[in-house]
Structure formats: structure tokens, C-alpha cells
Structure 1
Amino acid sequence: MTSSTTPTSAVLGVPAAGPATAAAHFATRLAFEADVSDVHADLAAGVPGIVVVDSRSDASWAQGHIPGALHIPTARVAELAPVLVDPALTVVAYCWGPGCNGATRAALAFARLGYQVKEMLGGFEYWVREGFGYESATGAGQRPIDDLTAPRSGISCAC
């Protein structure tokens, strides 16, 4: 005799939130986050109203950074932001990548100073992995698109 049992769901062990709660959650996340493709699109189009801030160390900045970004290491945000960043702009903070919380710390520092701020998901790592150009102490650079992060065609995935 065989017994049949219904497998327990790892996904549904905690039920999904209701649609209204889910909509509020995801809208809130988007108010705090931007992805590298959207940041790149805005910079390429010259969209006004944002300033991209690299919160990494001097050595990291020299190794590579987003063209047009400001360099304000996290520990110096309180000191340098009032001098360098127009409070009318929305700050988009980034650091190394998803394994680093430096951009989160920088975004918190900007918010505490009264700035509108978003964190760029993926950081410099995903900027480079998506094939976007960067600047370094030795000049401009660009790597091939990592097809695990973006379409090989270079055309936006239109998420």
C-alpha cells in the first residue's frame, strides 16, 4: 500500500501578502531603489534632477567609477555633501555591489542630512557587468556585457 502526501511548500510556508499590502511594499521599495540600467538611461538622456554619488574609498574610485559621478566616501558625506551636492537634487548612492552595504550607509547619511536619496542596486559591479562604460585613474574602460545580468544585444531588457 502506498500513501500519498502533499509536499509542504517552501514558498507558501509563509503565505503571500494580500494584493494591496504587496502593492504598498513594492511601491515603497521603488521609492528607495534604482537599478543600474535606469540610472544609465537617465544619465545618457541627460535627465535633470539626479546626482550619482560613489561612496567608496579613494583607491576604489581610482580603480573605476561611473562617468559623471561625484566621489564622496561614506565617512565624509556629512562634511562634503553640503558643499558639493545641491539639496534640490535626488542623490543616487552606489558602492561596490550587492555584497556591500556601503551605498545603504551613504544613503542613510544623505537622508539624515535632509536629501532625497535612492540606492543604486548592484553598485559599480553591476554597472560594469551590464557593459556600461566607466572611468578610472588610467582612462575610460568598458567590459563586455555579462549575459547573466543583461541581454547580449545591449538592448535594454525592458523589465
Structure 2
Amino acid sequence: MTLSLSAAAHFAARLQFETDASDVHADQEDGARFVLVDSRGDAAWAQGRIVGATHLPTAEIALRAPLEIPADMPVVTYCWGPGCNGATRAALEFAKLGYQVKEMIGGFEYWAREGYPVENDHGRVVRALDPLTAPADAIGCAC
């Protein structure tokens, strides 16, 4: 029984501090109040980013965030993808500043692979949906 309670607490905590591309996109569509922060460097930002994201590299968060993002604004951080812990480091910086923050698991990679809006310095980028990350003929994965 203790193991079950421990597991439940673990997974509940993860959901409190993590989100995914599908949920972030749904929140954007619903007009939810939050700032989506791309914590990658300049070259990565120029190459491609989530439409509507704010560029705030991790090394600049402590200095810039209090000047640019209201303290009561929820924040979602992302970086490259599951092989990168940049979004975790960025979320930690926001948490240290007292922000309500979540990390978007899957990062830019899964956002793009799931077919959500992407842009680069030249405008919108249309990418094919990857059927290994999202159903090809459904609105969501229904998970």
C-alpha cells in the first residue's frame, strides 16, 4: 500500500510541474494566461521555434525575467527535446524567482513532430505530422 501511495504522490507531483505539447497547444487555443519560454540560444531560436513563444535563454532568466514577465504570470519552459535538460534548468531558474512554472516535456522536437505551429526567422514552417508521435487522422491521442 505504501508503494501505491508513494507512486501516486510521485505522478501527481510530475503533473503539477510538467506539461506536454498537446496540453500547451490546447491552452494556447483556449487563450489560457501563460508565457511560453524558449530557453535555447540564438542560433536555435533562429532555426525554428514555437509560434507565440518568448525567447529567453536560460543564462538570461535571472536578469531579464523580472523585467519582462509579471511575477504572477504562469510560465512554461521548453528546449530542444527529451534528450536535453535545458527546459528543466530554465524552469529551475524561474522557480528560484518565485514564478509558477512548468516544463514542457518533449520540447521543440515533439511540438514540431506533432504538427503544431512552428516558425523561423523567415516565417511559418509547415511540417508533416509524425505518426509516431500523434494520431495521423485524429485531433488528439485521447490519453
TM-score by length of 1: 0.86
Alignment of 1:10-89 (within 5 A): 18-48=3-33, 50-89=34-73
What is the Cα deviation at residue 68 of structure 1? 1.1
Q: Which has the higher helix share?
A: 2
CA RMSD, 1 decimal: 1.3
What is the Cα deviation at residue 72 of structure 1? 0.2
Q: Which has the higher contact order (CA 8 A, sep 6+)?
A: 2
Q: Deviations over 1:41-77 (max 9, x none)?
A: 10012112x1100000111111111111110000000
1:38 maps to amino acid: D
What is the Cα deviation at residue 84 of structure 1? 1.1
Runs of 5+ unmatched residues, structure 1: 1-15
Is residue 109 from structure 1 mapped to residue 93 from structure 2 by the alignment? yes
1:95 maps to amino acid: C
Residue 50 of structure 2 aligns to a residue whose secondary structure is coil
Quote the residue 1:4 is aligned against: none
Runs of 5+ unmatched residues, structure 2: none
What is the Cα deviation at residue 154 of structure 1? 4.4
Q: Which runs of 4+ in 1 moved over 6 A?
A: none
- Give 1:95's match in structure 2, choosing from 57, 79, 82: 79
Of all paired residues, the percent bearing the same amino acid is: 61
What is the Cα deviation at residue 17 of structure 1? 6.4
The count of corresponding residues between Structure 1 and Structure 2 is 143
TM-score by length of 2: 0.95
What is the Cα deviation at residue 99 of structure 1? 0.4
2:120 maps to amino acid: S
Kept in 2, the 8 Å contact 1:56–1:95? The answer is yes
What is the Cα deviation at residue 133 of structure 1? 1.2
Residue 18 of structure 1 aligns to a residue whose secondary structure is helix
Who wins on radius of gyration, i.e. which is larger?
1
1:112 maps to amino acid: K
